[in-house]
Amino acid sequence: MTEAHAPVKLVVLISGRGSNLRAILDAIDAGELSAVVSAVISNRAEAPGLVYARERAIDTLALDARDYPDREAYDQALQGMVDLFHPGLVVLAGFMRILTPGFVRHYAGRLINIHPSLLPEFRGLNTHQRAIEAGADEHGASVHFVTEELDGGPVIAQVHVPVLVEDSPESLAQRVLEQEHHLYVKVIQWIAEGRVTLEDDGPHFDGKPLKTPKQLEAK
Ligand code: GAR
């Protein structure tokens, strides 16, 4: 980790468990990630990840979609809340909502998502079950800049996880999740160091176009 860069300010959006959020906070504590989590925001007030963030004395906010007339109004309110914290990077960590084009454009180049598949394969839900049903011998996770397309957007890095004959969706999900945690921390650190950026022609790595996603070794 280079010390020359100021810690990047993160706002993390979650919907549930928040294990990726925990991994980010653990990496910050361990000095592996030059970042500070300014706020955690959820669309579900009961998200366990919010409880954990509060225990860590991090600002938390919950925004219930039922309180807003439509998706545009919800995302405008969400954007207003996120912007209160002036984040350098907005991190989707299991935030299970489709975002409006206006929201995505507002954070262009500073909005990333982690998805449990080797994108572009298996966008959407139940990726582990679908990978097993498709007879895939490899599965994994991807981190990508968010664009208006669901689970689309240029992929920055991926990690591969073998699918075992005895795998259930749950066992595969567990092994992928462990790798997600390393992958997300790594990519956030690259962004914090200015090594990964989104330019007009796509993502750049160390100042050069990233033609294919970085492939990380599983830990
Ligand atoms: C993670 O597996 C993440 O990749 C997935 O939700 C889970 C959240 O877990 N995200 C998506 O499927 C986005 N399309 P967590 O709350 O323990 O971090």
The active-site residue out of 115, 139, 144, 182 is 115
Tell me the β-bridge partners of 160. Answer: 140
- CATH code for position 39: 3.40.50.170
Residues of the chain with pLDDT under 50: 1-2
Domain total in the chain: 1
**Checking DSSP bridges between strand 202-205 and strand 208-209, what pairing results, if any?**
antiparallel
* Percent of the chain topping pLDDT 90: 94
Contact 157, 215 (CB under 8 A): yes
The string of pLDDT tens digits covering residues 92-111 is 999 999 999 999 999 999 99
User: Which of 115, 118, 119, 149 maximizes ligand 1 atoms within 8 Å of its Cβ, making it the mutation to test the pocket?
Assistant: 115
Atom of ligand 1 nearest to the CA of 93: 18
Query: What DSSP letter does each residue of 139-187 carry, written as one string?
Result: EEEEEEE--SSTT-S-EEEEEEEEPPTT--HHHHHHHHHHHHHHHHHHH
Atom of ligand 1 nearest to the CA of 20: 18
Instruction: Output the ligand 1 site: residues, CB below 6 A.
Output: 14, 16-20, 49, 93-94, 114-116, 151, 177, 180
Q: How far is the CA of 92 from the centre of ligand 1 (A)?
A: 9
Residue 150 domain-assigned (yes or no): yes
Q: What is the b/e burial string over 183-194, where b = at least 16 CB atoms within 10 angstroms of the residue's CB?
A: bbbbbbbbbbee
Looking at residue 141, the DSSP 8-state letter turns out to be E
Residue 55 domain-assigned (yes or no): yes
Cα radius of gyration rounded to whole Å, the chain: 17
Residue 44 domain-assigned (yes or no): yes
The C-alpha angle with vertex 191 and arms to 208 and 8, in degrees rounded to 5, equals 150
Distance CA 109, CA 199 (A): 8
Residue 219 domain-assigned (yes or no): no
Q: How far is the CA of 4 from the centre of ligand 1 (A)?
A: 31
Domain that includes residue 71, residue range: 8-116+141-160+179-214
Residue 2 domain-assigned (yes or no): no
Residue 89 domain-assigned (yes or no): yes
Contact 2, 30 (CB under 8 A): no
- Residue corresponding to tokens 């699918």: 163
pTM of the predicted model, to two decimals? 0.97
The string of pLDDT tens digits covering residues 190-205 is 999 999 999 999 999 9
